[in-house]
Amino acid sequence: SNGEPQQDCLFCKIVAGEVPATLVRETDTTVAFRDINPQAPTHVLVIPKAHYPDAASLAAAAPEVAADVLREAGEVAALEKITPADGEGPGVGYRVVFNTGAGAGQTVFHAHAHVLGGRGLEWPPG
């Protein structure tokens, strides 16, 4: 894929402002917004504005934007005060997840990083 917006892509619609979302941060290349069904006190999605179906496709086609997504995940964690620099304990520290493929739980096929934190997180995940 070439990054062009896709019809019927939910996250392209959020980028376009056609579906509302609770924005956390925006850059020239990314948008971060709260997950509609949060699985932790902090559950933010960081997406590229360009459409790629998953993180690997994004990294292959636009590695600088993939790096932007990773940096923004860290910026979100800093805003939410859940980075290691914020101390220690079950609510500090966070996880960045890219579900890739339906078998791994991917339901929206526009690349996105989940930033999860604010509570203790089990390892390995379910």
Q: Which residues lie near Zn ion (CB under 5 A)?
A: 6, 9, 11-12, 51, 110
Where are the extended beta strands (E) located within the chain? 23-26, 30-34, 42-48, 94-97, 113-117
Active site residue 114: no
Residue 94 interacting with ligand 5GP (CB under 6 A): no
Residue 56 interacting with ligand 5GP (CB under 6 A): no
Contact set for ligand 5GP, span 3-32 (CB under 6 A): 10, 19, 21
Residue whose CB is less far from ligand 5GP, 88 or 122: 122
Residues 44 and 24: beta-carbon distance below 8 Å: yes
Interacting residue with ligand 5GP among 7, 8, 28, 36 (CB under 6 A): 36
Q: Nearest distance from residue 90's CB to ligand 5GP, in Å?
A: 22
The 3 state secondary structure assigned to 57-88 is: HHHHHCHHHHHHHHHHHHHHHHHCCCCHHHCC
